[in-house]
Amino acid sequence: MRVSVIIPTHNEAGAIERVLADLPSDLTTEIIVVDSNSNDGTPEIAANMGALVVREPRRGYGQACLTGLAAANSPDVVVFLDGDYSDRPSELPMILAPIVEGRADITLGSRLSGQSNPGALPWHQSFGNRLAAGLIGLLYGLKISDLGPFRAARAEVLRGLGLEETTYGWAVEMILKGALAELRVVEVPVSYYSRIGKSKISGTLKGTVGATWFILSLIVRYRFRRRRAGTPRPA
């Protein structure tokens, strides 16, 4: 099974070496670091550690993920992971297991049901995630607890979903379209720790409120949008 790991970065020089070093080499076929205008040496560190570095000058978390997906070399499974070392790359086997065992099309790492260091996930971010997850359960019938960034999906599923969100809404778009297509979305508990460096979005109450409002509106909008023709069903 070919596994491509995509890591969006922006000024993660303090963390990216640990992230790459902790990824199990026997499970990863390629590691793609999609860098957005870092000026602290992040791309150079990643390249020196053997990662394929793709420069993406356009802003947006979703844009970086989409760029990494386009650069992946014929994967069977694609893994998405932040470059701040808040999730533990060594837990990759837990993320992959439901897909490898044929139980899932998409797996989501839940930071709220696993082991977390106190304060690693700010209260406002935890509340926003629980609120969004609850709304997804209410409108889509999909029971999840978190919208965490550490996740994996079968490559053919990702290609068929037609993902297009270029901002932080990209993460919830995958879940919503997967639910509408009746794909098998499985959540697994993962540990979570304080990130290295300052968050670009969730580090402030204002940033979290803005992101939560956008995500909640996206959840409602997709619920009442007609399901796209040709969206894949589980194999």
Residue 214 lies in a domain: no
State pLDDT tens for residues 168-203. 888 899 999 999 999 999 999 999 988 776 655 545
Residue 7 lies in a domain: yes
Q: Quick check: helix, strand or coil at residue 134?
A: helix
Residue 219 lies in a domain: no
Number of domains comprising the chain = 1
Residue with tokens 């919208």: 147
Residue 220 lies in a domain: no
Give the per-residue pLDDT at 121.
75
Residue 232 lies in a domain: no
Residue 63 lies in a domain: yes
Give the per-residue pLDDT at 231.
47
State pLDDT tens for residues 18-33. 999 999 999 999 999 9
Give the per-residue pLDDT at 223.
83
State pLDDT tens for residues 217-227. 899 988 887 54
**Cβ atoms 1, 28 nearer than 8 A:** no
Rounded to a whole number of angstroms, the CA Rg of the chain reads 16
Give the per-residue pLDDT at 228.
47
**How many angstroms separate the CA atoms of 89 and 80, rounded?**
10
- The structure's pTM equals 0.89
What DSSP letter does each residue of 165-222 carry, written as one string? --STTHHHHHHHHHHHTT--EEEEE--B-PPSS--SSTTSHHHHHHHHHHHHHHHHHH
- The domain that holds 68 is classified in CATH as 3.90.550.10
Selected residue with higher pLDDT from 3 and 220: 3
205 pLDDT above the threshold of 80: no
**Cβ atoms 74, 144 nearer than 8 A:** no
Count of Cβ atoms closer than 10 Å to residue 97 Cβ: 15
**How many angstroms separate the CA atoms of 206 and 210, rounded?**
6
The backbone torsions φ and ψ at residue 129, rounded to the nearest 5 degrees and listed phi first, read -65, -40
Residue 29 lies in a domain: yes
11 pLDDT above the threshold of 70: yes
State pLDDT tens for residues 101-144. 999 999 999 988 766 666 667 777 788 888 999 999 999 999 99
Residue 83 lies in a domain: yes
Task: Give the domain extent around 190.
Answer: 3-122+146-166+182-198
> How does the average pLDDT of the chain come out, rounded?
89
Cβ burial of 25 (10 Å; 0-12, 13-18, 19+) is exposed
Selected residue with higher pLDDT from 200 and 66: 66
User: Residue 151 has which token pair?
Assistant: 């996740």
Average pLDDT over residues 43-67: 96
